[in-house]
Structure 1
């Protein structure tokens, strides 16, 4: 099955990179975003810039979503000027937004009543990896739909994983991000302690970024911590989507999750300290405050 006309709604940090890869590959792409500046980035491309969702709904057989939360997804799908009320033919929705698993299941159920296929396919990777087509994509939905859209997904990422039925993509991303978030909190907690104990910052940076504790989180955030760059990354408050997903599973399975619980406490303390709009690396500030030091390059 081919999709000669493809829609893409949501042209933010991640969506713009993914949409660019689709249009650069020669696909006829219809794009939409509420932000005029986001749309302007596609003005000189082969993409068709749509002022309304109805234009996408009436022309496309496949639509990608990349939106901030379930509120925006609901509005795009079911709002008075949304996709569902304006669709003219069979359409499938691939939702790359990060949502709660229960929200994905709800959208799937609502769309199924309209004979519209829905899959959750959250992504992992930074905006640079979105632009480079090197994301990890976690697909939850029909195996048949996955096979149909795989050639398109391969334009967006290096690692394309079929995780199971609808909702499993969100759950898989939550598993990945909880481990990642624990890693970030460990860096934020221990690096200032190392400085307070008398280890040089240069030595800490070299060892933690080369020895057995090396990680993606360290590679990305340690240079930014040292430069006191706490902007330009996703806000730590956004981690709560993943936290809620895994908390619900842990409660359902009556699991022991002491590390996850400790990580959640650090996130909550940082948000209570007014750091919710800063990157996850800003959690280091609450540990620095206690020790009266800063982890920074002189």
Structure 2
């Protein structure tokens, strides 16, 4: 069982991971940190976190390990490599991958963890940088009920909408559903803003009118204002959204499901990336619409 004396290991302190780790730290947990670029962990280290020189060292010295890395290849290396988490964590350790990754990989991690009496969960999130900072993320979880119950106090620090969706891999599948819904919504938001401007309307006032009606969405209320302000700083990177949509499209095709909206959104975001916007926030899609 977990307690306030449990040590939390954090692997990955990017836009999302740093805020999630900071909220755990503020709640009184001791934090171990490893990330490829140590400078990205400076705020956590300044506030008392312990730096670990490798994933293996962190794994050996942590009761719970939370990972928030970039790509499925990173997840595979961090968990399944010879110097990774599964090979080096102690029996009874809880490992929670909060990266958006491939459902089959989540199942593989769960199987190999179980063989070593390590408790694994896939728990990708939604809510962007704002949700991470405010501890208000939606957390979509795959794994066993008893493990979910044990780590719920940690989830409640990082998020608000926390649901166990099923066995291993169910969290990742749910995140794919989330990304599919966002994909076409982002196109709609951009087209709506372009239309408002073309019609000679004040787009800010238009947003005030439509954001609370049937058109309302996170993209409309949170990202559309950034589009109007020309703020393209990443709450969520274009490159990571492309990664997520690619996983979703591959998963859909494996199930024989047609997703034309997802395919169009992926095409547009790849075009955006080719124009040098890989490290911009997803709201930079508006640049393709001439506004």
List runs of 5+ in structure 2 lacking aligned partners: none
Match of 2:146 in 1: 144
Match of 1:222 in 2: 224
How far off its partner does 1:272 sit? 4.0
* Aligned match for 1:112, one of 111, 114, 118: 114
Match of 1:176 in 2: 178
1:23 aligns with 2:25: yes
How far off its partner does 1:256 sit? 4.1
Query: What SS class does the counterpart of residue 159 from structure 1 fall into?
Result: strand
Q: What's the CA shift string for 1:117-155, capped at 9, x where partnerless?
A: 321001111223222211111110111111111112111
Match of 2:59 in 1: 57
* Contact 2:130 2:235 survives alignment (8 Å): no
List runs of 5+ in structure 1 lacking aligned partners: 289-293
Match of 1:196 in 2: 198
1:241 aligns with 2:240: no
Moved more, 227-236 or 110-119: 110-119
Q: What's the CA shift string for 1:175-233, capped at 9, x where partnerless?
A: 11221221111111232133224434344333333443232111112221112122233
Structure (1/2) with the larger helix percentage = 2
What aligned pairs does 1:4-19 form with structure 2 within 5 A after superposition? 4-19=6-21
Match of 1:187 in 2: 189
Q: What's the CA shift string for 1:13-42, capped at 9, x where partnerless?
A: 211112122222222322222222123212
Match of 2:2 in 1: 2
Moved more, 160-169 or 120-129: 120-129
Match of 1:135 in 2: 137
Moved more, 116-125 or 45-54: 45-54
Q: What's the CA shift string for 1:79-125, capped at 9, x where partnerless?
A: 34333333344322111111122222232233334443321001111
How far off its partner does 1:265 sit? 3.4
Distance 2:76 2:101 in 1: 11
**Change in CA separation of 1:194 and 1:169 when aligned onto 2, cut-off 3 Å:** same
Distance 2:7 2:36 in 1: 21
Match of 1:48 in 2: 50
Distance 2:170 2:112 in 1: 18
Query: What SS class does the counterpart of residue 234 from structure 1 fall into?
Result: coil
**Change in CA separation of 1:287 and 1:143 when aligned onto 2, cut-off 3 Å:** same
Distance 2:117 2:163 in 1: 25
Distance 2:71 2:204 in 1: 40
Match of 1:208 in 2: 210
TM-score by length of 2: 0.88
* Contact 2:196 2:206 survives alignment (8 Å): yes
**Change in CA separation of 1:100 and 1:241 when aligned onto 2, cut-off 3 Å:** farther
Q: Which has the larger radius of gyration?
A: 1
Q: Root-mean-square deviation (CA), in Å?
A: 2.3
Query: What SS class does the counterpart of residue 277 from structure 2 fall into?
Result: coil
